[in-house]
Chain A
Amino acid sequence: MIELDSISKTYMTEETETRALRDVSLGIATGEFVAVMGPSGCGKSTLMNILGMIDRPTAGQYRFEDNDVSRFTEKELVEFRKKSLGFVFQNFNLIDEMSVEENIALPLLYRGIARKQRKSRVREALELVGLVGRGRHRPTQLSGGQQQRVAVARAVIADPKLILADEPTGNLDSANGAEVMNLLTLLNQDGATILMVTHSTEEAALAGRVIAMKDGRVQTDRQAPASTES
């Protein structure tokens, strides 16, 4: 599904040059659940952003289902991102002024899906994340775990080919974190391809594959040991 070939990313400021990624090459197959681990500043989020097509590599080639994404124009990237990717962020990034239903429906809205269809798909997504009856609530009326489940529902509602989760439990307590991880595991079991950035070895163990990064390079890339919980 995904092929990264010698991807590098350098952030330039007037005085300094920061190399966030250095010659990263890896592949992700359809249906995989990949965890990316590493200390702060190792390039995890940069890798995630490049995979999510919200940032461009400085060098290297990024192929997504045989499309050379690194050559895409801005407009093509928007279109490709819209139909292929779902995002879950550590800080949820829900829009506080919108209801839960409206937040979840947002990707469909930008895809031009009709209102009636949006409603039924939002209902399904709410069922999936266990938040039926909370659709008209505002995000601020929900717990952190519930908010992240809303973010997961928003990420999956448009049937993306890849779900990118950037420390999805980072702002949650252990109980809520476990709920979110269960949800992601279920999604993966249903066939979703997931790439998750995490600091937690326990959560990484839930993924089938763990990529460890350090100083912008892939340090190890191995299949995860079976989780004690699973």
Chain B
Amino acid sequence: MYLHYLRNAGRQLKRSPFTAEMNIVSLALGFTCFFAAIAVNAYWSLSDSVLDGSKSIYVLTQEYGEGSQRTGFRPRVTAPIARYLQSDFPTLAAVARVGNKRRWTVTWGSQKLHLTGARADAALVDVFDFDVVAGNLETALAGPDNVVMTSRAAKRLFGDRNPIGLNILVGEDFSPVVRAVVALPDGPTHFGPDEEASGYFDFLYAWPDESGQPEWWLSIGPVTYVRFDPTVSSMTPEILRSELDAFMARHLPPDQANMAVTQLDLIPLSQLPTRTLDLALFESRADSLSITWILNLLGVMVLAVAGLNYANLATAQAALGIKQMGMRKVLGATRLQVFQQYWVESLAQSVVAAVLAVCALLLLAPAVQRETGIDLLLGLSERLTHWPLFLVIVVVVATLSCLLPAVRMMQIEPIQALRHGAVAPFSRFVASGLVVFQFAVTCTLVTLLIVVQLQNNHVQSSALGSDPRSLLILTDDDSRALGYKSIAEALREERRVEGATSMDFLPWSNHENFLRVSREETGVDGVQQVFLNQVGYRYFSTFGTQLLAGRTFSEERGDTETSSLSDAAAIGDPVEIVVDLTLIRLLGFDTAEDALGADLYLSREFRQTLDMNPVMTIVGVVETRPLVLSASGTRANLYLLNDAPYFYPVVKLADGGSPAAVRAVSEAVQSRRPNAMVRYELFDEAFGRGFAPVDRFTKAVRLLSVLAIAIAVLGLVGMAIFKTHRRRHEIGVRKTMGASSYQVAVLILRDFSIPVVAGCLLSLPFAYWATQAYLSGFIDAIDVSVLPWLIAVVGCVLLSWLAAGGQAYSAARQLPSDVLRSE
């Protein structure tokens, strides 16, 4: 019997090849999106599975803040935790930290490289079963002058020479000996192979002894790994998780506990890459919003559009085949057999679509890997458990897609079918209802796409300014040690350079330095959280930040540079600060001018913990120009003149960042430090690095939206064919009665527009929610009006006209005699 159904499906394909092809293509597109979402998630979940014992390894996460100002659970916890954790829970197999990761200039003989180095606890070798290529890993991280190097970095630095025992120079004054070389696995791990991976390192050196040092629990610290060993201890992640609140209560110093609420949690190592990405995209909302969840949702939405498309066309087809179905019933087909026939047909098309989707993924995989580093094939193939899931999904989609026509045909009486022939067995609202849902989803995605694009354009234009390639940020140790003033001095005669300044963090990377300030001397009421930006002279002119009131810091005026806020406080005089417009508004000033001369105070908790009470006087107000993308609820900025070493020098190039100007800056640094290996980022490159996760997310939304639109349009084309075919008689009669071709075309297009517009109207609340959810993570979000949604509506209607236009035109052009004769 099933063979008969299958043959029937083949006949259906022959009878309406265009419809069947559209069904298959749209389902294939839907499956491609859905499978891709699953493959990406599978790839991420595979992370670190190549490391031995990875399932026993967890990472501690920590959250700070309260109310809406929360950081989200970040996989980097404050440094003292590891030590207390090991002593409080001796049954843990191992606890180890990796932190202070940075790029170093590493020299060996005449060979000089930029390598990524990080501190690590000696117990790291108990957490990870590294593959030791050479040396003794057990003792390598025990000594302060040792390093462990990856085989890839060793090869780059030493060539084929045995590196064990060789002395290298790290930065200016650290001269350790290579004690061990480890080979990291090729598969996806948080250690790499991509340098952007959260745990990437070229070499590790010992964590210095911190006993006796003051403990600061409210800062972002190292990645802290915990390994469990169920074979020797009953300690499990669940037990440890349940103990973490009490652990914090035991160890968090009371004065720091007053400053902010902080909590610990634990995630499996395999979740580390997605958690990192979630934090980059959604910040504090990463606990409720996850890229894996969103990817799956988008995949399901596109698949739903494809399924609705199928249901719509299958319903239309069923209307044409109703007489045949009546005859089958007369000949003895039971309801179940009727359902089976539709189901097998739907299943056959779904299976073909799924196979095409897998082929598409195979073809797309290399490009996806090139663009994103994500190996879709690995995600698909390594997790064989997903294949049964795929099959189940194919069956479910096939079943849901055929449900409407199949159930209706099951119910229809043979006498009705034989009497009514090709008259639709469905209310016209059924087909229209499906189009409504289809376009509700499509319009939501298109609106989101427009808003995402507008927000991205806004971020890029407001963040980058008019000439982003004229700003050069020096990131190497030599340049940072030298300081921007010395560099500016060395470049004094260089006409291709306009000037230099400095800043205390790398733009578009994590900015963790914040204060809580108030206009009240008590520091209790009206407290606002702000980013503390420690900048050099000419910071605002270098970045082109507009001054709205007052003045900025001036060398000529003799504004005092300090090395920290506490130094400024110690001097005793009020500290001069510049603030941005956002802070002015948050603090309740009516205008920028009103804020000039006003004093700000640290919140009471900050004052107590930091043991200082500086008075900060506002001398200038500038436009809000954040150099971070997301902010954990912090949106305002406070600027302090500061000349501390190791800030990042920023050089303003006069000629739009020509290679010659960049070379001149390098030479200027090397004129002061001959061995310096200058490393830099142009401002737009730095932005590109920080913006990459958002950019990838945007690309994914764009791709999925375009596919959803394509599927919906395909569906409309199919519906247009069916509907105009069914209305041929009516059109013939109308034309005989005097209707013009134009009137007929308008009639058809109007009928198609109504459900499309209804779907778009239905999308409004969903589009609003989706865009607000997306924008709330940006520190500088656009104000969304109804315009993007209106554009999406107009776009959807125009697309529907495009889809139905061809059929409307041919129907309008047909001769009434042709139609009525054939009737």
Contacts and interface: CB of A to CB of B under 8 A. Distances in A.
A110 B337 CA distance: 8
Contacts of B418: 54, 89, 93
A176 to B, nearest CB: 21
B334 A95 contact: no
Contact of B334 (A75, A93, A107): A75
A81 B332 contact: yes
Given A93-B327, A97-B15, A98-B11, A55 B332 contact: no
Contacts of A110: 328, 331-334, 337
A49 B415 contact: yes
Contacts of B4: 109
B425 to A, nearest CB: 16
A101 to B, nearest CB: 12
B624 interface: no
Nearest to A82: B332
Nearest to B1: A109
B327 A107 contact: no
A112 B331 contact: no
Contact of A55 (B15, B324, B331, B415): B415
A89 B11 CA distance: 23
B334 A78 contact: yes
Interface residues of A, number: 23
Interface in B326-352: 327-335, 337
Nearest to B324: A95
Nearest to A81: B332
A107 B413 contact: no
A44 interface: no
Given A97-B14, A97-B15, A98-B11, A107 B415 contact: no
B499 interface: no
B328 to A, nearest CB: 7
B323 interface: yes
Given A95-B324, A112-B1, A52 B332 contact: no
B327 A95 contact: yes
B715 interface: no
Nearest to B15: A97
Nearest to A106: B331
B415 A54 contact: yes
A158 B331 CA distance: 10
Contacts of B330: 52, 54, 81, 87, 93
Contacts of B8: 97
A134 B2 CA distance: 25
A35 B231 CA distance: 89
B328 A106 contact: yes
A136 interface: no
A110 B330 CA distance: 11
Contacts of A87: 330-331
Given A54-B413, A95-B327, A107 B332 contact: yes
Contacts of B413: 54-55
Interface string B390-426: 0000000000000000000000011100100000000
Interface in A115-173: 154, 158
B332 A54 contact: no
A71 interface: no
Contacts of B332: 78, 81-82, 107, 110-111, 158
Nearest to A50: B415
Interface string B1-37: 1001000100110110000000000000000000000
A106 B8 CA distance: 12
Contacts of A78: 329, 332-335
A166 B15 CA distance: 28
Interface in B539-579: none
Contacts of B323: 93
A87 B330 CA distance: 8
A172 B392 CA distance: 51
A83 to B, nearest CB: 8
Contacts of B14: 97
A53 to B, nearest CB: 9
B7 to A, nearest CB: 8
Contacts of B1: 109, 112
A81 B328 CA distance: 12
Nearest to B337: A110
B153 to A, nearest CB: 68
Contacts of A81: 330, 332
Nearest to A78: B334
A28 B330 CA distance: 21
Given A97-B11, A106-B328, A54 B414 contact: yes
Contacts of B334: 75, 78, 110
B372 to A, nearest CB: 46
A54 B337 CA distance: 17
Interface string A73-96: 011001001100001010001010
A154 B414 CA distance: 17
A97 B413 CA distance: 22
Nearest to B327: A93
A107 B413 CA distance: 18
A169 to B, nearest CB: 19
A89 B324 CA distance: 13
Interface string A38-80: 0000000000010010110000000000000000001100100
Nearest to B10: A97
Interface in A13-46: none
Of A49, A78, A158, the most chain B CB neighbours within 10 A belong to A78
A154 B329 CA distance: 14
A87 B333 CA distance: 14
Nearest to B14: A97
Contacts of B12: 97
A15 B323 CA distance: 26
Contacts of A98: 11
A72 B337 CA distance: 20
A111 B414 CA distance: 17
A98 B332 CA distance: 17
B338 to A, nearest CB: 10
A95 B414 CA distance: 15
A32 to B, nearest CB: 22
B331 A107 contact: yes
B415 A154 contact: no
A54 B418 CA distance: 10
B331 to A, nearest CB: 5
Contacts of B11: 97-98
Nearest to A93: B327
B15 A154 contact: no
A112 B340 CA distance: 14
Nearest to A95: B324
A158 B4 CA distance: 18
Contacts of B415: 49, 54-55
A82 B334 CA distance: 9
Contacts of A106: 328, 331
Contacts of A52: 330
A158 B327 CA distance: 16
A112 B14 CA distance: 26
A93 B331 CA distance: 11
A110 B332 CA distance: 6
Of A97, A107, A154, the most chain B CB neighbours within 10 A belong to A97
A155 to B, nearest CB: 9
A58 to B, nearest CB: 13
10 A-B pairs with the lowest CB-CB distances in the bound complex, closest first: A82-B332, A110-B332, A97-B11, A55-B415, A54-B414, A93-B327, A54-B415, A107-B331, A106-B331, A110-B333
28 contacts: A54-B329, A54-B414, A54-B418, A55-B413, A74-B335, A78-B329, A78-B335, A82-B331, A87-B331, A93-B327, A93-B418, A95-B324, A95-B327, A97-B8, A97-B12, A97-B14, A97-B15, A98-B11, A106-B328, A106-B331, A107-B331, A107-B332, A109-B4, A110-B328, A110-B331, A110-B332, A112-B1, A154-B331
Given A78-B329, A78-B332, 10 more contacts: A54-B415, A78-B335, A93-B330, A93-B418, A97-B11, A97-B14, A97-B15, A110-B331, A110-B332, A158-B332
